[in-house]
């Protein structure tokens, strides 16, 4: 179940930081019960893509393209898109691997998957499957890369979700995480979160989804920073972990390699 992004620019992952930084205040997972999160995403599925375009001024497309490049896929490859939502990143991955490749999108929200199948179910080599990111319905080492875009913070355990993605990827393949973050320094983070708490529900009200879109800024409360996500990826067994911040730090793209 992909969560909504914010605003931003484009870029590539790089050696922005390699320090294992953690804080006691950072959550280890989403504390909202899975059935409630699923119901919420089912309710916003019909307006999800339009809301993302509105809230990002169209920048979410550039972020997805950066995530695809970071995955390092080749023609004929296999890719797994976790918490695929309406399938925008899934479709972009399909373009990267071509008609001879295979891309599987997995999500816990039936409503999101319905939208994904409507939008890109006819693309060659694309498949969508209902499944939990913490228990992916795939065999070990089945894919060349696994991605998750704006979905990590919806998982009950961030580390377990990343570990599952690593399990699904072959040795030498990549795990890519595109997710909201909090700008630095701390003062800017406070300002951003304050603005986001106001603008997300207001934007949601345009499509009569105000209550659902109040969840998005709340999901950032205590969410690990970019350095902490990098440390979590290492604990999940990934190596060569790096990240790139976009949009003054409100979005981060993490990449790790499977041993």
> What DSSP state is assigned to residue 29?
S
Q: CA-CA distance, 8 to 22, in Å (whole number)? A: 25
Query: Residue range 117-126: average pLDDT?
Result: 92
Phi, psi dihedral angles at 65 (to 5 degrees): -60, -40
Separation CA 53–CA 84 (nearest Å): 17
Tell me if 156 sits within 8 A of 29, measured CB to CB: yes
Does the pLDDT of residue 22 top 60, yes or no?
no
CB hemisphere CA count around 116 (13 angstroms): 32
Q: What is the pTM of this model?
A: 0.85
Q: What is the pLDDT of residues 92-116, one digit of tens each?
A: 999 999 999 999 999 999 999 999 9
Helix (H) or strand (E) holding 78: strand 78-82
pLDDT in tens, 45-62: 998 888 777 777 788 999
- What's the mean pLDDT when you consider all of the chain? 85
**pLDDT score at 84:** 98
Which of 137, 66, 77 lies closest to 105 in space, CA to CA? 137
Least confidently predicted of 38-47, 124-133, 166-175, 208-217? 208-217
- As given in the structure block, the two tokens for residue 208 are 């009569």
Spatial neighbors of 95 by CB under 8 A, at least 6 apart, are: 68
∠ CA 161-246-131 to the nearest 5 degrees?
Answer: 25
Q: What is the mean pLDDT of residues 216-227?
A: 83
Q: Taking the domain 34-258, which CATH number applies?
A: 3.40.50.150
Measured CA to CA, the distance from residue 1 to residue 125 in angstroms comes to 21
Question: Quick one: what percent of the chain has pLDDT higher than 70?
Answer: 78
When pLDDT is cut at 50, 70 and 90, the band that residue 15 belongs to is very low
User: Which H/E stretch holds residue 244?
Assistant: strand 238-246
pLDDT at site 18: 38
Angle between helical axes of 110-120 and 48-56 (0-180°, round to 10): 80
Q: What is the pLDDT of residue 183?
A: 74
């Amino acid at each position: 179940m992909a969560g909504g992004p914010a605003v931003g620019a484009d870029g590539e992952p790089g050696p922005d930081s390699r320090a294992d930084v953690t804080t006691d205040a950072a959550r280890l997972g989403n504390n909202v019960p899975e059935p409630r999160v699923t119901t919420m995403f089912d309710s916003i599925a019909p307006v999800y893509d339009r809301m993302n375009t509105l809230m990002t001024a169209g920048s979410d497309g550039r972020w997805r393209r950066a995530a695809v490049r970071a995955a390092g896929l080749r023609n004929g490859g296999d890719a797994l898109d976790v918490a695929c939502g309406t399938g925008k990143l899934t479709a972009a991955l399909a373009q990267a691997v071509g008609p001879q490749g295979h891309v599987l999108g997995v999500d816990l929200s039936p409503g999101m998957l319905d939208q994904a199948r409507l939008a890109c179910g006819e693309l060659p080599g694309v498949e969508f499957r209902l499944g939990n990111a913490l228990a992916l319905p795939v065999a070990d080492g089945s894919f060349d890369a696994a991605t998750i875009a704006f979905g990590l913070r919806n998982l009950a355990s961030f580390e377990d979700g990343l570990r599952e993605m690593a399990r699904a990827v072959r040795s030498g393949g990549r795990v890519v995480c595109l997710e909201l973050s909090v700008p630095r320094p701390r003062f800017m983070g406070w300002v951003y979160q304050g603005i986001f708490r106001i603008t997300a529900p207001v934007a949601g009200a345009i499509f009569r989804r105000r209550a659902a879109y109040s969840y998005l800024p709340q999901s950032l409360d205590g969410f690990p920073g970019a350095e902490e996500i990098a440390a979590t990826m290492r604990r999940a067994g990934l190596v060569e972990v790096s990240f790139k911040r976009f949009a003054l730090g409100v979005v981060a793209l993490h990449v790790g390699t499977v041993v």
